[in-house]
Amino acid sequence: MPEKPEDTYNAFFLEVGILAQLSRAMFEARLPPGFTLPQFTVLNHLVRVQDGRTPLDLARAFQVPKTSMTHSLAVLERHGLVEMQPNAKDGRSKCVFITDAGRAFRQKALEAITPDMAALAARFPASRLVEALPVLTDLRQMMDSMRDV
Amino acid sequence: MPEKPEDTYNAFFLEVGILAQLSRAMFEARLPPGFTLPQFTVLNHLVRVQDGRTPLDLARAFQVPKTSMTHSLAVLERHGLVEMQPNAKDGRSKCVFITDAGRAFRQKALEAITPDMAALAARFPASRLVEALPVLTDLRQMMDSMRDV
DNA sequence: ATCATATAGTGCGAAATCGTATCATATGGA
DNA sequence: TCCATATGATACGATTTCGCACTATATGAT
């Protein structure tokens, strides 16, 4: 069924939105009450990618407005999961470091979520995701390059 | 590079989340100020799928909590874009209808967004999305079936 | 018919999200 | 050096999001 490209994009983004909603709900159900997916995602990024990034780096990585990132970081800091230090290279800026408590929190959350992921994988083979993942990644990179926060 | 299925799922959901964020920002930049993607999405659903659905049907369709849908519908109704009528078949329930103004709004929004979609399609062929779409759809349906609002 | 239970919708309050405006520091050119 | 402009971060306020509790209606068992 030949479709106009715009229709394809609309349908694609609709599915993406619903999947984001579903995965978010799934994650948050396993996080301690009051914590949200973005907060976990930031911690995860700090561990997996790199420590010591600036808030703006993080906002760009997730494509959220920088004010949203400021808020998320403030919450994480209030809970002692990250620390903010002045950026030696730029007086306007800060560097975000994950604390030991933050690492432990992230580890526990990851473990809490794994059974759900395994349950999904049992019904829907991860190999199919592997098949689709490059499309998502490439599209994301392309859209990243078209936008600045 | 062989990965544990959970890692694949994590990576997949991370990309999905970022893409949802990006597409949301792109849409909302073209909507009249103050309107959000969920509001447009509801109107779009009412036109494309069916009129006269109940709020709960809509909440399920997008996998958002029903209280969130109540709020979105209240906003749309306040702007005269949808109408709520009692459900003849169930006294507890309501039916949501799109108004002429709602159709016009949806049409204008769609037109406003099309150039962005076309710009994307010019750089990233929709055929690649078509290739990935079944994976998204199947996964979404599977996850839908595992969850109740 | 009655009553226990389930379901649809909403009010309310807490938190997240994000645009605008603002402040502080950087940077580059005159 | 001085100043115009750009950039990183945040304060603030409006709105969205969503869990909890509540009301009204429906459904099913006795």
What confidence tens digit (pLDDT) does each residue in A55-113 have?
Answer: 999 999 998 999 999 999 999 999 999 999 999 999 999 999 999 999 999 999 999 99
> Which H or E run contains A10?
helix A5-30
The whole-model pTM stands at 0.90
Give me the pLDDT at residue B7, please.
86
Q: What is the pLDDT of residue A43?
A: 96
pLDDT at residue number A2: 55
Spatial separation of the C-alpha atoms in residues B72 and B77, rounded to whole Å = 9
Q: Is B137 an interface residue toward A (CB < 8 Å)? A: yes
Query: What pLDDT is recorded for position B147?
Result: 64
Confidence band of A147 (pLDDT split at 50, 70, 90): low
Partner A contacted by B124 (CB < 8 A): yes
Nearest to B95 by CA among B87, B106, B107: B87
Give the Cα separation of A8 and A3 in Å (integer): 7
User: pLDDT band at residue A42, thresholds of 50, 70 and 90?
Assistant: very high
* CA gap A134, A119 in Å, rounded: 23
B23 touches strand C (CB under 7 A): no
Q: Which residues of chain B have pLDDT under 70?
A: 1-2, 147-149
> Taking CB atoms and an 8 Å cutoff, what residues of chain A touch B64?
21
Residues of B (6-35) whose Cβ lies below 8 Å from A = 6, 8-27
Asked if residue A28 keeps its beta carbon closer than 7 A to nucleic acid strand D, the reply is yes
- The pLDDT mean for chain A works out to 92
Q: Decide if pLDDT at A148 tops 70.
A: no
**Nearest of A46, A41, A12 to residue B11 by alpha carbon:** A41
Contact B16 A8 (CB under 8 A): no
Instruction: State the pLDDT at residue A33.
Output: 83
CB A41 within 8 A of CB A59: no
Give the number of beta-carbon pairs within 8 Å between A and B.
Answer: 173
Minimum CA–CA partner of A45 in chain B: B14
Question: Could you tell me which of B22, B139, B127 has the C-alpha nearest to residue A130?
Answer: B139
The predicted pLDDT at position B148 comes to 55
Nucleic acid strand C within 7 Å of A91 CB: yes
Which residues are CB-neighbours of A39 under 8 A, at least 6 positions away?
A: A31, A72, A75, A76, A81
Find, in chain A, the residue whose alpha carbon is nearest to that of B120: A143
